[in-house]
Every structure is written in C-alpha cells, then in structure tokens.
Structure 1
C-alpha cells in the first residue's frame, strides 16, 4: 500500500477505514482522523495557504506513506517501528478508549514519522524554508486535536460527566500537546538533515525508542486516570465499526466548520 499523490493517500486511507469497519477493528479510528486531515490539506493547496504547494504535497505523500507502509507491514505480520507496533498491537486492547487509540496513532505518526518526512523533502541548507509550511500542517492537525476531547464527549456523555468533576484527563491531554509534538518533530527533522546515513539510522532508532515510551504512558496513564478511562470506556457503547462511522462524521463536520 503506497501513494504517489495526495488523492492516492485519501483513497488508501479509505481502504483502511472500510477494511477496519468490516473487521470491527479500532484501527479505523486513526485512519478516519487522518483521512479528513489529508482532505483538508488537499483543499488548502492552490489557495495560497502554503508557501510551496508542490513541496507540501510531496511532504504530505512521504509522510502518509510511512503510515501506509507501517499498516501494510503490520497486516502482513512484518516488523514495524516500536512506536507503530505498540499502536497497532493496542488495537486489540478492548479497555482503551477512543481517545487513547487516536493518541497512539498520532504519537507514532507526528513524533516519529513527521520529522523523518520533513527531512526527506529538504536538506540542511534549505530546511529553514520549510518551517512555515511545517507549522501550517501541524495547525491543521491541531484544529482537530484541540477539540477532539469535547467532541468525543458529545458522542459519549460519560466522558463529559467525568471531565466536569476532574482535571486529571485534562492533565493527561496536556502531556500530549500538539505544540510540544510539533516542536519536537521540527527539532528531530533538523537533526536528521545534518546527519549522514548511519547517523540518521541511529537518530531514528533513538527517537523511536523515546516515542514508544510515550506510547506506553498513553496506554498506562496512572492508576487514577486509568480508572477514569475504564468508566469512560463503559460509556462508549457500540462496536468499533459504529464508533468509526461516528468519528468519521464528527471529524467531517468539524473540518467543514473551519
């Protein structure tokens, strides 16, 4: 599963969504989020939103192909990065809430893949020219991430009730902030463009280990938050296919309002 254009990225993501719905897999949650972000990026191209449309599409495709390749390898039972291995393996964990599944995918893709993709469309001399568009692609991601907690609460009221009585879940989300993820990814990209082949491989290996540790914290956020998540999970009624469809609609409406 690979893409050469942004349209092919959207098509491949749709295949993953439909396959996940058919298989009753939670992997459809992240794919639904990612597809709608990609559609939003596509719609921005040609509107003078980005500094360099051609480079942005190239970045988007390289970025997406890391996820598409990881997904394909996982389905074929081949080795993937530690970050993606945890995210994919966790898809069978019935105790995780929708938000945790989304954050696991975003953690692997933004904190690891985005920096790698950015380093592949530029070099040490030109990377500064990419910074503005790099920030803009993150802004588009943040439009969804910043409000996803509130929107999920509208679908599953148990989440909303808990959020009214505790700040613990808010603290958990602050620990996975888009600004921090963006800054870390940009720092990582700058490190990669300065290294040679062997140095890059070592940097990626170390970053993957760092990101995988954050994945473990998303799965095991501490006793109190975990107990709260169990209560939220009980309130998230419906099969994974139902939740994927609801999430698709929710994200689509959110993007249409921006």
Structure 2
C-alpha cells in the first residue's frame, strides 16, 4: 500500500535551499525531476541573495512567498516518494522523468510550467490571505522576480540545448522553446491570481477554478514532454 505523503515544511528561504539541495543529492543527475530541481535551486538562491539588497520593496513578503511557493513543489515530491499521485500539473514530469526520448530542456520547461502556472497563483493567494493584504500590494515585487527568472532561464536554455552531436533534436526543441516562455507563464499566473482573488468569497467556485487550472497546466506539461 502507498504510504502517506509527509513534508517537513520549511520556515525560511534558507531552509528551502537546504531541502532542494537534499533532493538534488538523492537523485541521479539525468532524472527529469533532478533537472528541474537544479534550475529551481538556482532561482531560489538568486531570490534569496536579493532579499537583503534593496531589490524588493517588501523583502519580508517575498521571503514568505518563496517559502509558501516552494512548499507546493516539495509536497509533490513527497507525494511521489510515498507512492501517491502528485497534483495533475506535476504528473507528466514525475511519470516521464526517466524517459530516454525526453530531452533535459523539456524536463526543465515542464517543471517551470507546473510550478509557475499552477503553484504560483495559489501561493500568492495564500500569502495575501495570511498577510491580510490585496494582491496589488505584492504585484510590483512579483514582477521584479521576472528579471531574475529571465536571466536564469536564458542561461538554462543555453546550457541544456543539444550540442553538435544531437543536431537532429535542435529543430523540434527550437519549435518547443517558441511555444513556452517564463514571462508569458508568469503573466498568465498573475491573471489566475486575480481570478482566484475575485472568487475568494465563493469557495466552491474557487476550488473548481483551481482544479481546472491544475488539469489544464498538466495537459500542457504533457505536450512539453512529448518524446523527440
């Protein structure tokens, strides 16, 4: 029988970094979840390094968002480890993590797709409920993270694109890269934040919207992971 998913919830960004490093140490480098985890670790470290330098208008809120946001990915990892299904948005990545026909760049994109387009809007809404604030109050800092992500996404693409020995993969990967971008994903996520916030007084409708979001993001994730 599958076990019950358990998670040691991080309380600080530094603890999130520690958990991501633990996950990395326990996975083969070529594992699809490991590929995404390395990218997510780099993003989290970059955000952490900007919390104390005046980059964010409200670094305390951004640190809390980082922790809440990471918790959703860590819960998906824990569910998979316990033999349970993670949320629909994460299932393609966990199901295809060892597929030999899927390129590492596809794993990275699928992980970002799940975490940004599904987990992020739910995390922002959770943050606003906890802090008693409106989404508009964190929007400026939310968009500041786009610069950090664009930098790291560009570096990841360069690092993960196939070399001359795999030129047959270059064209389909280039096409794939043209269909998904972190900027568009985060803009879509912010639209989902606004929708969820407007539905906060209608819990049934909010749950239905979140479930639909989960499923649609999962479908896109499966498309991103089509073997080359």
TM-score range, shorter-chain basis?
0.7 to 0.9
Q: 2:176 aligns with which of 167, 172, 175?
A: 172
Give 2:193's aligned residue: 189
Give 1:150's aligned residue: 158
Question: CA shift at 1:161, angstroms?
Answer: 7.9
Q: 2:213 aligns with which of 197, 207, 210?
A: 207
Question: CA shift at 1:48, angstroms?
Answer: 0.8
Check the 8 A contact 2:92/2:225 in 1, yes or no.
Answer: no
Give 1:11's aligned residue: 18
Give 2:140's aligned residue: 132
Question: CA shift at 1:170, angstroms?
Answer: 2.5
Q: 2:28 aligns with which of 10, 21, 45?
A: 21
Give 2:3's aligned residue: none
Normalized per residue, the structure richer in helix is 1
Q: Which runs of 5+ in 2 are unaligned?
A: 1-6
Q: 2:101 aligns with which of 95, 117, 124?
A: 95
In 2, Cα distance between the equivalents of 1:104 and 1:69? 17
Give 1:110's aligned residue: 116
Check the 8 A contact 1:192/1:200 in 2, yes or no.
Answer: yes
- Give the paired residue count: 217
- Residues 25 and 107 of structure 1, relative CA distance in 2, 3 Å threshold: same
- Residues 169 and 86 of structure 1, relative CA distance in 2, 3 Å threshold: closer
In 2, Cα distance between the equivalents of 1:151 and 1:214? 23
Question: CA shift at 1:79, angstroms?
Answer: 2.9
Question: What is the SS of the residue equivalent to 2:89?
Answer: helix
Check the 8 A contact 1:3/1:61 in 2, yes or no.
Answer: yes
In 2, Cα distance between the equivalents of 1:157 and 1:149? 15
Question: CA shift at 1:146, angstroms?
Answer: 2.5
In 2, Cα distance between the equivalents of 1:156 and 1:9? 33
Q: Which runs of 5+ in 1 are unaligned?
A: 221-225, 230-258
Give 1:219's aligned residue: 225
In 2, Cα distance between the equivalents of 1:171 and 1:161? 13
